[in-house]
A and B are shown apart, each in its own frame.
Chain A
Amino acid sequence: HQVLRVVPQSDEELQKVQELQDLEHLQLDFWLAPRGLGLPVDIRVPFPSVQAVKAHLEAGGVSYSIMIEDVQALLDEEQAEMLRSSRQLPRDTETFNYEAYHTIDEIYSFMDMLVAENPNLVSKLEIGRSTENRPLYVLKFSTGGTNRPAIWIDTGIHSREWVTQASGVWFAKKIVQDHANNEGVASILETMDIFLEIVTNPDGFAFTQTKNRLWRKTRSKHSGSICVGVDPNRNWDAGFGEAGASSNPCTETYHGPYPNSEPEVKSIVDFVKSHGNIKAFVSIHSYSQLLLYPYGYTTTPVPDQQELHDVSAKAVEALSSLYGTKYKYGSIITTIYRASGGTIDWTYNQGIKYSFTFELRDTGRYGFLLPAKQIVPTAQETWLALKVIMEHARDNMY
Chain B
Amino acid sequence: RAMELPPSHFPAARAAAVAMGYLRYLRGGPGRGLHLRELRRARRQDIDDVGHKYYLELELEDVLDKDRTVSCTAEVLYPLGSKTSAPDVQVTVQGELRSTEEADKEFYNRIRSLEKELVAENIPDSHGNVPPELEPIHRLAWVASGYLIWQNSTENTKFHLAQVKHVKQVKRSDEDLQFDYVLLLHEMVSQ
Contact A364 B160 (CB under 8 A): yes
Interface residue total, chain A, C-beta cutoff 8 A: 52
Measured between beta carbons, the chain A residues less than 8 angstroms from B186 are 214, 367-368
Interface presence of A18 (CB below 8 A): no
Contact B127 A335 (CB under 8 A): no
How many angstroms between the C-alpha atoms of A326 and B9 in the bound complex? Answer: 13
Contact A213 B126 (CB under 8 A): yes
Known: A101-B126, A342-B191, A363-B36. A328 touches B163 (CB 8 A): no
Interface presence of B10 (CB below 8 A): yes
Could you give 28 example pairs across A and B, Cβ below 8 Å? A5-B115, A73-B132, A100-B127, A161-B190, A213-B122, A214-B162, A285-B190, A287-B190, A288-B191, A296-B191, A329-B8, A330-B6, A335-B10, A336-B10, A336-B188, A359-B191, A364-B35, A364-B160, A365-B35, A367-B161, A368-B186, A369-B124, A369-B125, A369-B126, A369-B128, A369-B162, A370-B128, A371-B128
Q: How many A-B residue pairs have CB under 8 A?
A: 98
Interface residue total, chain B, C-beta cutoff 8 A: 34
Closest to B109 in A: A66
- Kindly provide the distance from the CB of A331 to the nearest chain B CB, expressed in whole angstroms: 10
Measured between beta carbons, the chain A residues less than 8 angstroms from B38 are 326
Interface presence of A347 (CB below 8 A): no
Contact B160 A367 (CB under 8 A): yes
Contact B127 A214 (CB under 8 A): no
Q: Which of A73, A328, A365 contacts B8 (CB 8 A)?
A: A328
Contact B162 A368 (CB under 8 A): yes
Q: What DSSP secondary structure best describes chain B's contact surface?
A: loop
Interface presence of A366 (CB below 8 A): yes
Contact A158 B127 (CB under 8 A): no
Interface presence of B26 (CB below 8 A): no
Contact A330 B162 (CB under 8 A): no
Interface presence of B129 (CB below 8 A): yes
Contact A286 B132 (CB under 8 A): no
Measured between beta carbons, the chain B residues less than 8 angstroms from A372 are 127-129
Known: A66-B113, A101-B127, A371-B124. A334 touches B190 (CB 8 A): no
Contact B115 A84 (CB under 8 A): no
Q: Which of A67, A161, A209, A330 contacts B9 (CB 8 A)?
A: A330
Contact B191 A357 (CB under 8 A): yes
- Kindly provide the distance from the CB of B118 to the nearest chain A CB, expressed in whole angstroms: 11
Closest to A253 in B: B189
